[in-house]
């Protein structure tokens, strides 16, 4: 199976090339030329497998230039029971959200307590193998722009992986104290972390510019290095996420909640549009899906896009209590547009050019219709997010994080508006302990402790739930990284960080 660029179909690469390169030269994203198709019988056969079995089958069908051993090795190393608190890395809790019981797919049982681990524990294995296949002995330099969770998950995934270096840029005031601490204390000889004086979009744009800067690329080449990306623009990030939607469906079948063939809805707290896009791929491979519910926080550019067909990033940027969704340019939407237009690379390239030059674009009617046939948008502000956390805890004794709460609320709005009773999978994307302050203050009027770890303990005491071990351990960890830079200094910081300026 080969891959195209969304902005230029004549660019055709293998899976390994797509993963090693991360992004196409002209700025497009790599998308599969075709998708594996699974019948109901296939899906039934997945139901008899464990998570690793499902992952090996599904990912294997996409990774044409990998051997079965390579895939098997990667999956086994990534979804190790010890790293993910058991054999199923994405367990389901059934929770009443308003008047309907939803399947809450907990994607945060990995080493950094956010759903990014589902992809970033396996990406380093796929990436190092891809680089070996396509560029021999070159060193892969991973640049990451993060709104918080990707950075830590990527650092953890790539920590001391031979043949790689990783640099993470995060917005100085745009991540939670726990996220900052997770990154600043990261171990490993091949890692570095830099705070930029700007927001997430500045960080993401800065990284994209470095990736596509011909001078910097040739400097790297002279030093036997190549850039790659661990952001969700990398196909190797999206692919592992397709697996857990099939897996969730199988778990629901096995639990007797649905029978094979029943449709489900999927609700996802959305930022860069990677997670929800993975469920769209799953549907196009045969997973029975009715609607995709795209939940946003106060940065509701996607809600407006789904409602109007106009994507307009010219608006205030809000720093919210769900920082991993504080995004105005959702990169993976480009892939969705490519597929909804039937692979119209010229159209996609034009819209993306308009976005970068004018800050907005409007899709044509056919694309708008294809979008709204499947996608429903909705949003929720911080106040409503906190109210939702408090209500779900009071009624259901279920503690959720701020991002998941946004999806809960938007799902509830959707059911209220439509009466749709289709069984729904809601992606739960982070442990509540990553956002302890906002979560605890949703549960109590009392003054919270100043100290982050005292807050974590207070949340645990109040709810009788355990603090995840990796977060507990941070209390004693030593801070290693404190560098800050301006956005336009990023290229220089990269080169000097690599010792090649």
Ligand X SMILES: *Cc1c(COP(=O)(O)O)cnc(C)c1O
What residues line the site for ligand X (CB under 6 A)?
114-116, 149, 232, 269-275, 324-325, 403, 429-430
Min CB(275)–ligand X separation in Å: 4
- List the one residue out of 430, 432, 433, 469 whose CA is nearest residue 454: 433
Q: Which is nearer to ligand X, 52 or 116 (CB)?
A: 116
Min CB(136)–ligand X separation in Å: 32
According to DSSP, the β-strands at 289-296 and 484-485 are unpaired
497: tokens are: 């960080």
Distance CA 447, CA 386 (A): 16
* Residue in this structure with the two tokens 């029975």, named with its chain if needed: 288
C-alpha separations of 64 from 35, 36, 61, 127, 260 in Å: 12, 11, 7, 14, 28
H or E element that contains 385: helix 382-396
319 with 337: CB under 8 angstroms? no
Min CB(478)–ligand X separation in Å: 25
154 with 187: CB under 8 angstroms? no
Min CB(256)–ligand X separation in Å: 29
Task: Please provide residue 31's backbone torsions phi and psi, each rounded to the nearest 5 degrees.
Answer: -130, 145
Q: Which is nearer to ligand X, 131 or 399 (CB)?
A: 399
Q: Which is nearer to ligand X, 92 or 233 (CB)?
A: 233
According to DSSP, the β-strands at 191-196 and 164-171 are parallel
Q: Which is nearer to ligand X, 14 or 324 (CB)?
A: 324
Reduced to 3 states (helix: H, G, I; strand: E, B; else coil), residue 313 is: coil
First to last CA, the chain: 38
Min CB(8)–ligand X separation in Å: 24
Q: Which is nearer to ligand X, 32 or 345 (CB)?
A: 32
Min CB(238)–ligand X separation in Å: 9
Reduced to 3 states (helix: H, G, I; strand: E, B; else coil), residue 16 is: helix
Burial of 10 (C-beta count, 10 Å sphere; 0-12/13-18/19+): exposed
Min CB(271)–ligand X separation in Å: 3
Q: Which is nearer to ligand X, 232 or 441 (CB)?
A: 232
Burial of 36 (C-beta count, 10 Å sphere; 0-12/13-18/19+): middle
Min CB(406)–ligand X separation in Å: 8
Q: Which is nearer to ligand X, 134 or 296 (CB)?
A: 296
Q: Which is nearer to ligand X, 122 or 226 (CB)?
A: 122
């Amino acid at each position: 199976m080969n891959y195209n660029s969304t902005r230029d179909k004549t660019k055709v690469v293998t899976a390994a090339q797509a993963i090693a390169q991360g992004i196409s030269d002209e700025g497009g994203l790599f998308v599969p030329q075709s998708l594996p198709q699974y019948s109901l019988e296939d899906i039934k056969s997945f139901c008899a497998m464990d998570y690793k079995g499902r992952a090996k089958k599904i990912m294997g069908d996409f990774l044409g230039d990998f051997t079965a051993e390579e895939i098997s090795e990667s999956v086994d190393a990534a979804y190790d029971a010890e790293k993910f608190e058991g054999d199923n890395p994405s367990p389901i809790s059934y929770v009443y959200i308003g008047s309907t019981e939803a399947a809450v797919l907990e994607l945060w049982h990995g080493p950094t307590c956010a759903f990014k681990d589902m992809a970033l524990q396996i990406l380093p294995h796929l990436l190092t193998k891809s680089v070996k296949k396509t560029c021999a002995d070159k060193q892969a330099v991973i640049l990451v722009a993060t709104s918080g969770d990707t950075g830590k998950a990527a650092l953890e995934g790539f920590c001391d992986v031979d043949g790689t270096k990783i640099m993470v840029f995060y917005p100085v005031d745009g991540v939670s104290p726990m996220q900052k601490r997770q990154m600043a204390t990261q171990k490993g000889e091949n890692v570095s972390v830099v705070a930029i004086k700007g927001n997430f979009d500045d960080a993401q744009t800065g990284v994209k510019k470095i990736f596509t800067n011909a001078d910097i690329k040739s400097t790297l080449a002279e030093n036997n290095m190549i850039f790659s990306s661990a952001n969700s623009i990398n196909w190797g990030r999206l692919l592992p996420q397709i697996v857990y939607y099939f897996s969730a469906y199988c778990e629901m079948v096995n639990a007797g909640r649905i029978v094979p063939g029943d449709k489900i809805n999927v609700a996802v707290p959305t930022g860069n549009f990677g997670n929800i896009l993975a469920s769209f791929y799953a549907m196009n491979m045969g997973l029975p899906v009715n609607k995709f519910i795209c939940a946003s926080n106060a940065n509701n550019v996607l809600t407006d896009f789904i409602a109007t067909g106009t994507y307009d990033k010219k608006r205030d940027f809000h720093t919210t209590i769900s920082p991993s969704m504080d995004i105005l340019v959702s990169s993976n939407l480009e892939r969705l547009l490519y597929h909804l237009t039937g692979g119209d690379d010229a159209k996609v390239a034009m819209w993306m050019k308009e976005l970068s030059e004018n800050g907005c674009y409007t899709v044509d009617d056919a694309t708008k219709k294809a979008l709204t046939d499947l996608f429903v948008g909705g949003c929720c502000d911080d106040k409503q997010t906190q109210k939702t956390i408090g209500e779900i805890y009071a009624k259901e004794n279920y503690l959720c994080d701020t991002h998941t709460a946004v999806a809960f609320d938007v799902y509830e709005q959707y059911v209220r508006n439509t009466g749709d009773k289709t069984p729904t999978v809601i992606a739960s994307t982070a442990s509540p302990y990553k956002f302890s302050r906002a979560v605890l203050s949703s549960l109590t009027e009392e003054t919270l402790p100043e100290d982050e770890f005292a807050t974590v303990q207070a949340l645990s005491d109040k709810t009788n739930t355990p603090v995840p071990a990796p977060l507990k351990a941070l209390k004693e960890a030593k801070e290693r990284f404190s560098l800050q830079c301006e956005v336009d200094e990023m290229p220089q910081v990269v080169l000097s960080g690599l010792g090649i300026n």
